[in-house]
A and B are shown apart, each in its own frame.
Chain A
Amino acid sequence: MSIDRRKFLTLSGLSALGLAGAPAVRVFGQDTTDVAQDTTPAEPAQPEQPRAPLVAQRWAMVIDINKCVAAEGCRDCALACHKVHNVPDFDNPKDEVKWIWKESFEHAFHDQEHAHQSEKLRHATLPVLCNHCDDPPCTRVCPTESTWKRESDGLVMMDWHRCIGCRYCVAACPYGSRSFNWRDPRPHIDEINKSYPTRTRGVVEKCTFCDERLARGQMPACVEACKEKAMIFGDLEDPESEVRQVLRETFTIRRKPGLGTHPEIYYIV
């Protein structure tokens, strides 16, 4: 008898519903981002030794624009991220989905822009991504709690099974960090990573600071891919962490700090 994953999930959900109504709601509503959505079953676990999860009280990132500018035209962070997270490539700005991308200084910090900006910054492109704000406006507006701030470590999470695709979070994000699946993304993924869910059309997605990799003891894909070591990732609550050390010693700026969202991505200019 052939039964695919989707049917199995539906059937088990229905039988749960038959057994007890209330728990079934929880089954459907749970954070199921770790379950591959509508894809073929996950590959068997990688043979390497399982590592202890990386944990923090408050994950944060520092990006050194100088190092990034030195590697002109480099897109390693975006390529690595989009590959492991099955981010589709639509090749047109209208349907585009992106989690992390290189943006000009003028656009990323367009309230800091002036006519006599240094040559370096005028031509600089730097990575922008979800800021994992301490007070995220996107989670505040979500009518279904499909996106929320994880209290344990501050990550702004997404539940693609619960999202109704109203795009209120997209309107609320001051950084343009959220993308909507205007069309079915799957035909536009070059090579599907079977250990990570693909999304369906009609839901919003964004960077999650690689919560799935942290759980496996790995650093975020962008951090790992950056040969220039321009991205530093760590625990903001730990005074000994590298991010705290860098923040202590270097002048850093954040995007649109005046809006009170408290973004947790810091830039060294």
Chain B
Amino acid sequence: MLEKALSGSRQYWTWVIFLFVLIGVGFFFYLRQYHEGLGITGLSRDVTWGFYIAQFTFLVGVAASAVMVVLPYYLHDYKAFGKITILGEFLAISSVIMCMTFIFVDMGQPFRITNVFLHPSPRSLMFWDTVSLGGYLVLNVIISHITLNSERKGIAPPKWIRPVIILSIPWAISIHTVTAFLYSGLAARPFWMTAILAPRFLATAFAAGPSLLILLCLILRKFTRFDAGYGPIQKLAQIVTYAMAINVFFILVELFTAIYSNIPHHTMHFEYLFLGLDGKSSLVGWMWTSEILALIALVLLINPTTRHRQSTLVVACLTVFGSIWIDKGLGMVVTGFIPNPLGTVTEYMPTFPELMISVGIYGLGMLLITGFYRIALSVRKQIPT
């Protein structure tokens, strides 16, 4: 089936070559980082996790969100999602691979990473995160391969695949829960040590992921003969609406607990995020942007007229995605380190090489999505040739 990704129009190849250029640039800067060490990033003794780990966290959410098309289709027999479940699964596979690459580039000794398996440490959440992400990747590869292959042959998928698909539903929840536990179990970092972190991760995942899927479906409709249909897109939009509303509710719950209890070690982090601390405020503008985008998104999504109209739905999806990307991809990880355990405020700013490496990984992800989607649509003969 893979050969289907290797034929296409000039437009397709221009896009693929563009993505290869991004990957090449990222790889070039990674070689520099490998040679000189993580010192070429903006990370420091005080802020030891930054852009890479934040992207990893965000993308785990995108990966988990596949469950939002799989669950209605397989558990509620919502047939209209039949056309897009494969898109959700391929998005999950691509996201998990990006997650793993972000972890890899963040390691100080990347080629010792096998030590995680040679010396398994069940007390470490990182061990469980590796297990759950790896398992999720395997599940989705199996599911997408079997279902697509059956579709190509025009036969019903084998019976044994159904329990595997059902298993992938709680598994998707687990990958983001374990990722949240990675943070929320640390007494040293009061900003992360909140029970709402895992639920909030899931809410943001189920808002940002399906938003991205809506946008991808619309892009596919523009460039191919694939049409997800009005019904499924609207169903996804409803899911985004609920998830985003729950997310904003969770943010307010979190803010109430932190601000009203007024424990300095907890409030200081929020002060840094929204007001600035010790004259350091590089995230303040971003965070307010994120909150304003969230409000715009809610208005556009809750109002049926704007949700039903495609042009405003696109804006809503972009604002949801942007708001959550800022929240998880910029604010959430580094603020755990600011101020540091000694009360010192050291800020973090990703460097150019760090950003280029990240762009390269996103390029890789987009290349995978492109290739996978092309395979899926070729099987359905929905690609103009």
Contacts and interface: CB of A to CB of B under 8 A. Distances in A.
B149 to A, nearest CB: 36
A211 to B, nearest CB: 20
A145 to B, nearest CB: 5
Given A140-B124, A171-B188, A261-B187, A96 B109 contact: no
Interface in A156-211: 162-168, 170-176, 179-184, 200-204
B37 A141 contact: no
Contacts of A170: 48
B194 interface: no
Contacts of A179: 45
A165 B107 contact: yes
A72 interface: no
A96 B337 CA distance: 16
Contact of B123 (A110, A140, A146, A162): A140
B282 to A, nearest CB: 15
A173 B341 CA distance: 8
Interface string A41-60: 00000000000000000000
A111 interface: yes
B126 A166 contact: yes
Nearest to A162: B115
A254 to B, nearest CB: 14
Contact of B108 (A106, A174, A180): A180
B126 A182 contact: no
Given A95-B39, A172-B188, A103 B342 contact: yes
Interface in B105-133: 106-110, 112-113, 115-116, 118-119, 121, 123-127, 130
Contacts, number: 141
B44 A181 contact: no
Interface residues of B, number: 43
B43 interface: yes
Contact of A144 (B106, B121, B336): B121
B45 A93 contact: yes
A202 B44 contact: no
B38 interface: yes
Overall SS of chain B's interface: loop
A162 B108 CA distance: 11
Given A95-B39, A140-B124, A166-B107, A180 B116 contact: no
Interface string A107-121: 110110000000000
Contacts of B119: 29, 144-146, 162
Given A107-B344, A144-B115, A94 B336 contact: no
A202 B38 contact: yes
Contacts of B37: 181-184, 201-202
A172 B108 CA distance: 17
A176 B346 CA distance: 13
Contacts of A97: 45
Interface string B73-110: 00000000000000000000000000000000011111
Contact of A165 (B109, B336, B346): B109
Contacts of B44: 93-95, 182
A163 B186 CA distance: 20
B49 interface: yes
Interface string B328-351: 000000001100111110100000
Interface in B205-239: none
Nearest to B111: A164
A20 interface: no
Given A143-B121, A201-B37, A171 B342 contact: no
A166 B115 contact: no
A142 interface: yes
Nearest to B108: A165
A201 B104 CA distance: 16
A268 B182 CA distance: 35
A164 B107 contact: yes
- Most B CB contacts (10 A, CB to CB) among A93, A166, A202 go to A166
Interface string A84-109: 00000000011111000001001110
Given A163-B108, A260-B187, A171 B115 contact: no
Contacts of B185: 141
A131 to B, nearest CB: 12
B265 interface: yes
B189 interface: yes
B65 to A, nearest CB: 26
Contacts of A70: none
Interface in B10-63: 36-39, 43-46, 48-49
B261 to A, nearest CB: 15
B187 A259 contact: yes
Given A93-B45, A103-B342, A202 B107 contact: yes
Given A107-B343, A166-B107, A144 B186 contact: no
Interface of B: 36-39, 43-46, 48-49, 106-110, 112-113, 115-116, 118-119, 121, 123-127, 130, 182, 185-189, 265, 336-337, 340-344, 346
12 contacts: A93-B45, A93-B346, A97-B45, A107-B342, A166-B106, A168-B124, A171-B48, A173-B341, A176-B340, A200-B109, A202-B38, A202-B108
Cβ-closest 5 pairs across A and B: A165-B108, A202-B108, A174-B188, A182-B39, A143-B126
